[in-house]
Amino acid sequence: MQQSKNRRVFYFPMGNESGSVIVAALFILVMVTVLGLTASNTSTIELQIAANDQFIKMSFYNADSALYGTSKLISLAVNESGKINEGTGNDAPGLTYLSTASDPADDFYRQISGIDQYDGTFDVDFNAGGIDSQADARRDRQDYPAGSGVEFSSGSEGVGASVVAIYYGIESSGFSNRNTTSDLSATYRKLVGVPGGL
């Protein structure tokens, strides 16, 4: 009897497995929930990134369209030797001059023809067909292009004999949602005396 009192009884808790399956199942459910939340957040972030990428591209394309539109406007004004009114038929739909002068179309023409000094502000606003952009044109210089009649001391020998190249610096800003703005600049060369072109 005395020996039985000195014996120690050891209980092994792992021997009793009741509830261990539930604990393991809960642990697996927690892991699956964490994975699901992570996947959901990743999908939401990817959608936001895709939307921002779309807005950046839209603002870039709007700014690019303003460069082309301003080049066309300059070419038309130089060919006509006068101002181009905003919204006149098919010439300038969706065009607004931003000058505060009494005749903003004439102010733009005087600036690109070199009569007035460059003012450093945006000249034209394009808002047609979903395009939202502004552009500024600056007359840089005029030159005789290489290969023209002036280079070879000839004056009236047909096309190319009296060509003058006028260089313009054009800066544009395109806008889109979420205050997205893209700024672009380009140099436009107008060849006066040559048919065709922009």
pLDDT (tens digit, 9 = 90+) per residue, 150-196? 555 555 555 545 678 889 999 999 998 888 889 999 999 888 877 66
Can you read off the two tokens belonging to residue 157?
Answer: 């020998």
| Exposure string for 74-84, b = 16+ CB within 10 A, e = fewer | bbebbeeeebb
pLDDT (tens digit, 9 = 90+) per residue, 45-77? 888 889 889 999 999 999 998 898 888 888 888
Can you read off the two tokens belonging to residue 135?
Answer: 């552009």
SS3 172: strand
Q: Is 7 exposed, middle or buried (0-12, 13-18, 19+ CB in 10 A)?
A: exposed
For the chain, domain boundaries: 58-192
Pairing of strands 95-97, 164-176: unpaired
**pTM, whole model, 2 decimals?**
0.69
